[in-house]
Amino acid sequence: MRPETETELCEIIRGAAGPLAVRGGGTRGRAVAGAVLETGGISGIRLYEPGALTLVAAAGTPLAEVEAALAAEGQRLAFEVPDLRAVLGRAGVSTLGGVVAENAAGPRRVQVGACRDFCLGVQFVDGRGDLIRNGGRVMKNVTGYDLVKLLAGSRGQLGVLTEVALKVLPRPETEATLCLPGLSDAQAVAAMAAALGSPYDVTGAAHLPGQGTFLRVEGFEGSVCYRAGQLAAVLRGFGVAEEVAGPWAAIRDVAALVDVPGDLWRLSVRPSDAPGLVARMGAEAVVYDWGGGLIWARLAPGCDLRARLGDFVGHATCLGGGDAQAEPAPEPAPVAALAARLRAAFDPRGIFAGAV
Amino acid sequence: MDMPAPSLSILSRKARIVDRLLEVLPQDAVIHDENEVRAYECDALAAYRCPPLVAVLPRTTAEVAAVLRLCLAEGVPVVPRGAGTSLAGGALPTADCVILGVARMNDVLEVNYADRYIRVQAGRTNLAVTGAVEGDGFFYAPDPSSQLACAIAGNIAMNSGGAHCLKYGVTTNNLLGVTLVMMDGTVMEIGGPYMDAGGLDLLGVICGSEGQLGVVTEATLRILPKPEGARPVLIGFESSEVAGACVSDIIKAGVLPVAIEFMDGPCIKACEAFAKAGYPDCEALLIIEVEGAEEEIRHQLRLITDIARRHNPVEIREAADEAQAKRIWLGRKSAFGAMGQINDYMCLDGTIPVSSLPHVLRRIGELSREYGLDVANVFHAGDGNMHPLILYDANLPGDQEKCEALGADILKLCVEVGGCLTGEHGVGIEKRDLMGVQYAPADLEAQLRVKDVFDPKWLLNPAKVFPLQVTASRRAG
């Protein structure tokens, strides 16, 4: 099934007798049982006002189409959408709805936020088949509950997105990347904390063990040059920072783990805890992003990382790899119960029960 | 503004409810004397007042949980209250409610500079959060104009913004986690000192839920390193249209100021008369602030003033030093005080797409003449959040009603052009009955279902946010 309009989508969901397997570009998520419902038919940019930094598009719009339209006006999606197809061994074409449903965020997350922080409004069809609108297309909006944030990152559990309104940002004039070579994981996280705690607007802080610790500044040329210099001075205690071509696309897409076999894990943690967690993890390879707040790790297939780590601040999600299925991070019982009741409120018949 | 009739059953049980509260709270935390509860009869929307049944001021999360459990058992509505600075009536009591104030919970629990967060009790004031970290070069970014008085609990409930959110975002973009007490007394940790949710983004829906989903007792907030410097430039224009076009050009050029504030002619004149900041006599004025090191500030201001010059400004005034910067901000910061001197006023809070600014200002002018009430406009132009101030005379019979009707028409106009009813103040009781203008029944129903999940008995701040007739059956249950 591939509805072309919101009305058709509502009818399909209303008429569904059992679970549906909702598919955007098929680049993420896990294979679930049920009739396949493709979202790509509801597609196209519906409004773009560069002067208001606002773009509204149907959820099935290919991400590439959105990025091209923005690039033509010197703008971009600031949250830096990762392309995980290679590391997950998937094909497909990312859609805007999928990006929002995953609350995607790349290295720039540390400074500007994730996709949810740029979502101004959503339209979606819930499990009853009702079309629901929330938010709008303006940057400040506290009218009623913020279901926009709830839908962002809900991975299809509450409804099928049909339209999203996004805040976009100007593409900066230039960028510079500093690299500190040879730091231990603990030194690297300390260096990244020093950089992120400086007033020099660091927009990327990642550590690739064995390759170096990378810090990015962006903006107007004179300003970038000044801040890169200041930053190098702040980091003097960690060694001599050299300016390099930024490997940010590789960091964003977790390229360092593409050729490492095993299950892919993603951990969201308190940055200063990261080196200790990695030391206990027994991973084949890791990548630190977000100043250490995000850890990507490859572990031997089937390894129960959560059991190995025990209690820690944050959460770990297995994204699969090979034959492994994605498994969501477990939540404390009262939170899990609340989330289950919310899912039932939006989807009482379990049409989206397969989405995790 | 209608409020539900108080439950006679609850009113008749006051003594018993007070006794039960005194079993779980210290004596000084339960305020039940008829005169003393008057201190909680209103918030900053002072036109509406109603003393509550009881006010409680717990000091710990456990005490908050005990109060909520008890109120659930007694079927008593609870109105959570931060510092009572809501402009929308978010903390307005009903005669049969318990006001749950978190003002005594104001400790800093943890400061972590390496991971850039602070954990505080939710009654701490916004400015005191920054106060706890600024000595070490950090700050908490959301800066609502009431920041000296307003509590983080209220900021979270209303998803408060401020003048600098063009760059730093609003509360929801700076909130990492909360301790949430549910109406049944369950205590939950939602989020924490890490960047994203593991499951559904519950934090995202709790923020801005106006105290209707749970009571926030602790919050983990993102703190940021202070910029090296900041400086404003003031630019006067012959018309609002031209100022609006200039804002759009600045944004398109890739400059991202931390604040772009706009004032129209009536507002400029009133502020000038009140604060004597030396503003030029013109129809529209922008105050644009940029941040960074000295050279960065100069570069950004040069880009901005180059763009402004293409719009034939009446005047461009750059601040040469701190004193001049203060003078530029002086008039803007005294705008509300200036209006208060002239008259009673009602402050609106709609947001519009920046592109429809000239049209909206023209329509507001027409509506103002139709109603015979003056309107002065001051707002955050970069993000389209408008604060039209409608001047009226509270002592003149019928004037307040006329003012509210004009306010409703202006907010409907905001929605009509693709904007919304409230950008940062919240719905409260003030915009409650206009929700149907922005949202279709199915849209509202989805929000009501969220409240059903968090608060099945509809006891938390029940008469707010949604039109009363829409929530009647739920509140009765």
Q: Do domains A6-170 and A174-252 have the same CATH topology?
A: no
Residue B335 has pLDDT above 90, yes or no: no
Residues B170 and B210 in one domain: yes
Comparing CB atoms, the residue among B138, B192, B454 nearest residue A313 is B192
The CATH number of A6-170 is: 3.30.465.10
Q: What is the mean pLDDT of residues A61-85?
A: 97
Residues B156 and B200 in one domain: yes
DSSP B60: S
Q: What is the mean pLDDT of residues A317-325?
A: 72
Determine contact: A126 vs chain B, CB below 8 A.
yes
- Chain A: residue whose CA lies nearest to B174: A113
Residue B477 has pLDDT above 70, yes or no: no
- Chain A: residue whose CA lies nearest to B115: A271
The pLDDT of residue A133:
98
Is the CB of residue A248 less than 8 Å from the CB of residue A256? no
Query: Inter-chain contact A143–B421, Cβ cutoff 8 Å?
Result: yes
- Which chain B residues have a beta carbon less than 8 Å from that of A219? 296
Which residues, 6+ apart, have CB-to-CB distance to B366 below 8 Å?
Answer: none
How many domains in chain B? 4
Residue B73 lies in a domain: yes
**Chain segment A179-207, per-residue pLDDT in tens:** 999 999 999 999 999 999 999 999 999 99
Amino acid at position B286, single letter = L
Query: Inter-chain contact A172–B254, Cβ cutoff 8 Å?
Result: yes
- Which chain B residues have a beta carbon less than 8 Å from that of A341? 453
What is the second-level CATH architecture of the domain A255-320? 2-Layer Sandwich (3.30)
What proportion of chain B, given as a percentage, has pLDDT over 90?
81
ipTM: 0.96
Residues B33 and B141 in one domain: no
* Helix axis angle, B265-275 to B322-333, nearest 10°: 120
Determine contact: A329 vs chain B, CB below 8 A.
yes
The pLDDT of residue A186:
98
Residue B28 lies in a domain: yes
In angstroms, the Cα distances linking A249 to A80, A190, A201, B21, B261 are: 9, 23, 19, 58, 37
Rounded Cα distance between B58 and B39, Å, is 16
Query: Inter-chain contact A138–B351, Cβ cutoff 8 Å?
Result: yes
**Chain segment B372-386, per-residue pLDDT in tens:** 999 999 888 888 999
Residue B461 lies in a domain: no
Comparing CB atoms, the residue among A114, A220, A330 nearest residue B299 is A220
Query: Inter-chain contact A335–B226, Cβ cutoff 8 Å?
Result: no
CA–CA min distance B36, chain A (Å)? 32
Query: Inter-chain contact B188–A335, Cβ cutoff 8 Å?
Result: yes
Could you say which of B416, B436, B459 is where a domain stops? B416
**In the block, which residue shows the tokens 């990378």?**
A214
Domain A174-252 has CATH 3.90.1010.10: no
Determine contact: A337 vs chain B, CB below 8 A.
no
- Which chain B residues have a beta carbon less than 8 Å from that of A352? none
Q: What is the mean pLDDT of residues B405-412?
A: 96
Residues B330 and B349 in one domain: no
Residue B402 has pLDDT above 60, yes or no: yes
Determine contact: A333 vs chain B, CB below 8 A.
no
Residues B99 and B198 in one domain: no
Interface of A with B in 190-229 (CB under 8 A): 190, 193, 196-199, 219-220, 222-223, 226-227
B263: domain CATH number? 3.30.70.3450
The pLDDT of residue B99:
98
CA–CA min distance B17, chain A (Å)? 28
Residue B85, token pair as written in the block:
């600075």
Tell me the average pLDDT of chain A.
94
Residues B160 and B248 in one domain: no
- Which chain A residues have a beta carbon less than 8 Å from that of B204? 116, 146, 148-150, 152
Structural domain for B349, as ranges? 343-416
| Domain extent listing, chain A | 6-170, 174-252, 255-320
The pLDDT of residue A324:
59
Residue B448 lies in a domain: no
The pLDDT of residue A326:
66
What proportion of chain A, given as a percentage, has pLDDT over 90?
88
Query: Inter-chain contact A197–B114, Cβ cutoff 8 Å?
Result: yes
The pLDDT of residue A356:
67
Interface of A with B in 286-315 (CB under 8 A): 290, 293-294, 313-315
Is the CB of residue A55 less than 8 Å from the CB of residue A165? yes
CA–CA min distance B447, chain A (Å)? 6
B16: domain CATH number? 3.30.43.10
Residue B423 lies in a domain: no
Residue B450 lies in a domain: no
Comparing CB atoms, the residue among A157, A199, A338 nearest residue B453 is A338
Cut 0.80: pTM above it: yes
Comparing CB atoms, the residue among A74, A134, A293 nearest residue B195 is A293
Residues B98 and B187 in one domain: no
Query: Inter-chain contact B447–A138, Cβ cutoff 8 Å?
Result: no
Chain-centre distance for alpha carbon B20: 34
CA–CA min distance B431, chain A (Å)? 9
Residues B114 and B220 in one domain: yes
Q: What is the mean pLDDT of residues A339-353?
A: 96
Contacts 24+ apart (CB under 8 A), B270-275: B270/B335, B270/B338, B270/B339, B270/B341, B270/B342, B270/B376, B271/B331, B271/B332, B271/B334, B271/B335, B271/B338, B272/B331, B273/B338, B274/B334, B274/B337, B274/B338, B274/B341, B275/B330, B275/B331, B275/B334, B275/B337, B275/B338
**In the block, which residue shows the tokens 């369950």?**
B186
